Amino acid sequence: MKILAIETSCDETAISIIEASGAVLKPEFKVLGNAVLSQIIHKEYGGVYPNLAKREHEKNLIPIFEKVLKEAKLFTKSMHDIDNEALEKILVKEPELFKHFIEFIGTIDKPDIDYIAVTSGPGLEPALWVGIKFAEALSHVWNISVLPINHMEGHIASVLYKNTAAIEFPALALLISGGHTELVLAKKWGKYEILGQTRDDAVGEAFDKVARLLGLPYPGGPEISKLAAIAREKNLPRQFELPRPMIKSDDFDFSFSGIKTAVLYTLKKIGDVTQEIREDMSREFEDAVTEVLIAKTEKALETHAAKSLILGGGVIANTHIRSEFEKLILNYPDVRLNLPAKEITTDNALMIALAAFVHLSKGEEISTSQISAEGNLKL
Ligand code: KG4
Ligand code: ZN
């Protein structure tokens, strides 16, 4: 089956087309087309503004879609009449997208696609709506069903990409991104129990905020990671000691805002922040975060019998965190570590297509009711 997936939950406009076959236990995927556009406009503001993200998605979806269709060799030009009125109703709150949509859609053939998948939450609602309405407009024109997908399930499903074997359940999943930090027990695909989550900032958010304090650009994760690697290479004595919040607490929750505040006060005291201080602080921050993540995951592995450990979310692009989890898993020979390929860790539509395949291959019915954006959608 061919699945077209659309992801617009935050500041990445992403579209993917995959061809999937096999059963959910032994899936095979071919990526026919895939593109992610990171909205650089947010760099100027050091964070993501929902309405700005919405406008960028509206502007970028059609050009990206055209690119992906061409890459997938599913793009053929031909002129049709289009029912503008119906489309205007669907895209009434996305006027910019409507304009591009009607210019485009009447000039191409219906591509050979079986299903459309779209992220319906969690995320920024104005941004989510753009993807949902785009999916609905395509569905209207081409008569293809649309499947709503939970973005966090997408991060879990990202480990299926380039994976040679099925995921074994029960699985423990640690999801660490810019908006979420969750430890999840997955009994099977679609059946999740959240064991713990952050009480304040998400891990990626902490990376971004600390980067900002250090005068580094957004998104901060990759920047901090680079400086921390330099500090590790230099191996100079440590100048700072940051807290490891909740590392010994009797639950699976996290808290990262205290580390950020500790960085703030330390930097205020120093005044003149040199490059060496930036490097050393980055290393100490990365260590503090990693130690907490490892400790909580270890505790969960001790308490819940899991056959797999799945890691997902943008922060798992971090080289140091990946290698510490690779070390941790050596103590659990019965648990298989499933790390997503680095190129699929930050937001993308490929993971949304993979999650859609999981649902479709189980033979789930697709609801025909209208899809709503749910900013706080739970797993
Ligand atoms: O999953 P994602 O792309 O978006 C959300 O769903 O939130 O995650 C983005 C987050 C950002 O906070 C970014 O700073 C962080 O992932 N990130 C990293 C690295 N690459 C991206 N954090 C630490 N180390 C990295 N190498
Ligand atoms: Zn994400």
Q: Is pLDDT at 355 greater than 70 in this prediction?
A: yes
pTM of this prediction?
0.95
Q: Which residues on adjacent β-strands are paired with residue 179? A: none
Q: How far apart are CA 284 and CA 303, in angstroms?
A: 29
Q: What is the mean pLDDT of the chain?
A: 95
Distance between Cα 376 and ligand 1 center (Å): 19
- Here the contacts of 96-102 (C-beta below 8 Å, separation 24 or greater) are 96/55, 96/58, 96/59, 97/57, 97/58, 97/61, 97/62, 97/130, 97/133, 97/134, 100/58, 100/59, 100/61, 100/62, 101/62, 101/134, 101/137
Say if residue 22's pLDDT is above 90. Answer: no
In angstroms, the CA 52 to CA 135 distance is: 20
Q: Give the ligand 1 atom nearest the CA of 208.
A: 14
Ligand 1 mean position, distance from CA 358 (Å): 24
Q: What is the mean pLDDT of residues 48-62?
A: 92
pLDDT at 46: 65
* C-alpha neighbours within 13 Å on the C-beta side of residue 171: 26
Q: Which ligand is nearest to the CA of 11?
A: 1
Rounded-to-integer distance, Cα 139 and Cα 129, Å: 15
Compute, in angstroms, the gap from residue 123 CA to the centroid of ligand 2. Answer: 8
**pLDDT attached to residue 98:** 97
In the three-class reduction of DSSP (H, G, I as helix; E, B as strand; rest coil), residue 313 is classed as coil
Q: Which ligand is nearest to the CA of 206?
A: 1
R_g over Cα of the chain = 22
Read off the pLDDT band of 378 (50, 70, 90). very high
Mean pLDDT computed over 87-97? 97
- pLDDT band (50, 70, 90) for residue 298: very high
Q: How much is the average pLDDT of 47-62? A: 91
**Closest residue CA from atom 10 of ligand 1:** 178
Minimum CA distance residue for ligand 1 atom 7: 178
The contacts of residue 63 (CB under 8 Å, 6+ apart) are none
Helices 220-234 and 319-329: crossing angle in degrees, nearest 10, is 70
Q: What is the pLDDT of residues 164-207, one digit of tens each?
A: 677 899 999 999 999 999 999 999 999 999 999 999 999 999 99
Whether the pLDDT of residue 85 is over 80: the answer is yes
Amino acid at site 68:
V
DSSP string, 112-147: S--EEEEEEESS-HHHHHHHHHHHHHHHHHHT-EEE
- Output the six-digit token pair for 300: 């969960």
- Of 181, 212, 315, the one to substitute when testing ligand 1's pocket (max ligand atoms within 8 A of C-beta) is 315
Check residue 27 and give its pLDDT.
82
Residue 324: per-residue pLDDT: 98
Q: Name the closest ligand to CA 210.
A: 1
pLDDT exceeds cutoff 90 at 45: no
Tell me the C-alpha to C-alpha distance, in Å, between residue 317 and each of 176, 243, 288, 311, 344. 10, 23, 17, 10, 9
Q: How wide is the angle at C-alpha 146 spanned by C-alphas 102 and 139, nearest 5°?
A: 25
**Residue from 36, 177, 286, 377 to probe ligand 1 pocket by mutation (most atoms less than 8 Å from CB):** 177
Strand partners, 37: 13
pLDDT score of 25:
73
User: How large a percentage of the chain has pLDDT more than 70?
Assistant: 98
State how far the Cα of 243 lies from the Cα of 255, in Å rounded to an integer: 11
Question: What are the E-state strand segments in 22-166?
Answer: 28-38, 115-121, 145-150
Q: How far is Cα 112 from Cα 71, in angstroms, rounded to an integer?
A: 14
The whole-angstrom separation of Cα 64 and Cα 270 is 46
Ligand 1 binding pocket mutation candidate from 13, 207, 256 (most atoms within 8 A of CB): 207
Which ligand has the minimum distance to the alpha carbon of residue 48? 1
Strand partners, 176: 181
Q: How far is the CA of 76 from the centre of ligand 2 (A)?
A: 32
Span of 16-25, 58-67, 277-286, 348-357 with lowest mean pLDDT = 16-25
Residues having CB closer than 6 A to ligand 1 are 10, 177-179, 204, 207-208, 219-222, 225, 313-315, 317-318, 346-347
**pLDDT band at residue 162 under the 50/70/90 scheme:** confident
Query: Of residues 176 and 52, which shows the higher confidence score?
Result: 176
User: What mean pLDDT comes out for the span 300-318?
Assistant: 97
State yes or no: pLDDT of 43 exceeds 80. Answer: no
